[in-house]
Structure 1
Amino acid sequence: MQIEVIKGHGSGNDFLIIDEITNDYSFSESDRTKLAQLLCNRNSDLGADGILFVMKSEHSDGRMRVFNADGSEASMCGNGLRLVARYICEMLGVNEAVIETMKANLKISKQKDLYPNIHTYQVEISPVLFNLSALPLNLNKPTLFNERVEELSEDLRFTALAVPNPHLISIVEAEQILGDTQKRLSEYVNSPNELFPDGVNVSFVKSLQPGSIYVRTFERGVGFTNACGTAMSASSLVTCLLGINKLEEVIQVYNNGGKVQCVVHEQEGKYTIDLIGNATYLFKTDVSIDADERTFTSNKKSVFSEQQTYEKLQAQAQQLLEQAMKG
């Protein structure tokens, strides 16, 4: 099997893009899982956090399916959606479109550069659900908002929500981010446990200054990642609900892969989040897959020059974070 692949990233959260619209590929569900496990392996020639399958849609401009590196399917991926947004917009020659995801049809649009010469796209993050059954989280209450959970920590307070991926968010200080608390907690809730039968994304969030936060995420099916788009969106919403930041105002969200911007909207008690950030291409290559041997080889890579520019934004973000962690 021969497949054309583009590798790209949103905030350092890297993916392989496979175009099923213009290419005559035919994948079974099992194929998608096996492809993700094979091609995303960090010990291989490609390696990534997941695969973005760009597909035809009966009622939108395109459809996105996301498979994590472990072969599981994610219902949404904000950073990945920006890459798909760019791919669809450039393919159709438009600046805005609607992309079908597992739970919703989401608006996307090309935006002015987040940083000079960085391809920047805005994607809608919704629906937002606070009912614990949406995650699911097995507690004897309907919601969890800035509360302690005895099984998880004596000190930290947590908020649970689905956007639609499940997220557990805690507002913390620098020492809690720099320690091993998040690792231990995340590994617990993503191994067999009574609270989260399907696992959960865990984010520790530090307020840097008004309108600016740092988000570090342990992503279900991936582990610690440079950034998680839905986690940064959910974290921004939580900071607004806690009065740390404000609705309808741009929030600068820093992460280990760089930074994005989020704007939280509320209408008639329902929330949506705009996630704005880079959609950077790294290289394009053809991959030859031996399904029987579960091996692959990639041919010569056609490298894009965009990463050099993105690294300037990344360096700027890292410098700010280092100062914040010290102070």
Structure 2
Amino acid sequence: MKLQILKCHGSGNDFILINEYENILFSEEQRIILSKTFCDRKGILGADGILFFQNSDAADGKMRMFNPDGSEAEMCGNGLRCIGRFACETLDKESVLIETLKGASHVSKHKNIHKSVPAYQAELNTISLNTKEIPILVNSDSLINEPLPALSTDLKLTAVSMPNPHIVSIVQTISDNQLEEIGEKANQLSDWFPEGVNVNFCQILDDGAIFVRTYERGVGLTNSCGSGMSASSLVACLLGHHQFGKSIDVYNRGGLVRCEAREIHQNQYSVFLSGNATFVFNST
């Protein structure tokens, strides 16, 4: 069987994209094997995840994203931009609706952030601060800028579903060693995080921008995480560091994206994530 793949990335968060729009090519078991094999950095390709682009009865297309450990993610913001670009070009549209594991998101061509680098904007709109929906097993409906002693006595954390689970801590400086330690520990605390969790450190910069570093569930430290940067932008607004409805420059190891968090109604939010959707190469 010959398989055509597209290597792509959003802010250095790299993926292997497989087109299943016309025909479903793989079983669920095969997807797990593929993700473990193709994403292995010691192998031929290496990636932060595999994106499967499929047809959808409810949208223009469907995204399924698998991590290097074989687990499937509910959302992937950087991957969503890449899938969105692929869908727009494949279907000859300026804007598409992409079904995800827990909802649907609009993705559209956007003005370039960097010269000659195609940019796309994705709307993340299935967002909740309810601890049951994240899920995080605590005795409160929300966790906003509070310590979680089982994880850390020093950090204050905010939990949010994007709809994949995230915790965000606003920190003065970002230590990769500390982030990796907290990320690994959090994903071992199944009594607190039964589905695992993505851990984000967010640093407020002098110019009003933020810098975000993420430990991704099922991956580890990555150059960037689209849903993590979106979650961090939302938390920065919730805690008064930024205003809702205004664009935030979000720096990461892979470059720069822009996020705009909006409060639609009380306790209802969306985040618009804009950044590159770069196609690196096609291969068979």
Counterparts of residues 6-25 of structure 1 (less than 5 Å): 6-22=6-22, 24-25=23-24
Deviations 1:271-327 (A, max 9, x none): 0000000000111111xxxxxxxxxxxxxxxxxxxxxxxxxxxxxxxxxxxxxxxxx
- Give the Cα separation in 2 of the matches to 1:210 and 1:19: 41
CA contact (8 A) 2:24 2:54 kept: no
2:278 aligned residue: 280
Deviation at residue 139 of structure 1 after TM alignment: 1.2
- Give the Cα separation in 1 of the matches to 2:219 and 2:189: 16
- Give the Cα separation in 2 of the matches to 1:2 and 1:219: 31
1:262 aligned residue: 259
Deviation at residue 25 of structure 1 after TM alignment: 4.3
Deviation at residue 209 of structure 1 after TM alignment: 2.6
Deviation at residue 17 of structure 1 after TM alignment: 0.5
Deviations 1:219-242 (A, max 9, x none): 000000000000000100000011
Structure 2 unaligned regions, length at least 5:
none
User: What is the letter of the counterpart of residue 146 of structure 1?
Assistant: N
Deviation at residue 92 of structure 1 after TM alignment: 1.4
CA contact (8 A) 1:205 1:216 kept: yes
User: What is the letter of the counterpart of residue 140 of structure 1?
Assistant: N
Deviations 1:72-92 (A, max 9, x none): 000110000000010000111
Between 129-138 and 10-19, the greater mean CA deviation after superposition: 129-138
1:271 aligned residue: 269
User: What is the letter of the counterpart of residue 148 of structure 1?
Assistant: P
How high is the sequence identity, in percent, across the aligned residues? Answer: 46
1:93 aligned residue: 92
Deviations 1:209-261 (A, max 9, x none): 35300000000000000000000001000000111011111100000111100
Which one of the candidate residues 221, 235, 238 is aligned to 2:235? 238
1:224 aligned residue: 221
CA contact (8 A) 1:161 1:167 kept: yes
Give TM-score, length-normalised by structure 1: 0.84
- Give the Cα separation in 2 of the matches to 1:59 and 1:241: 32
Answer 1 or 2: which has greater strand percent.
2
Give TM-score, length-normalised by structure 2: 0.97
Aligned residues: 283
- Give the Cα separation in 1 of the matches to 2:27 and 2:251: 37
Is structure 2 residue 208 aligned with structure 1 residue 211? yes
1:41 aligned residue: 40
Counterparts of residues 1-327 of structure 1 (less than 5 Å): 1-22=1-22, 24-174=23-173, 177-178=174-175, 180-269=177-266, 270-286=268-284
List 4+ stretches of structure 1 deviating above 3 A: none
CA contact (8 A) 1:210 1:245 kept: no
Deviation at residue 198 of structure 1 after TM alignment: 1.7
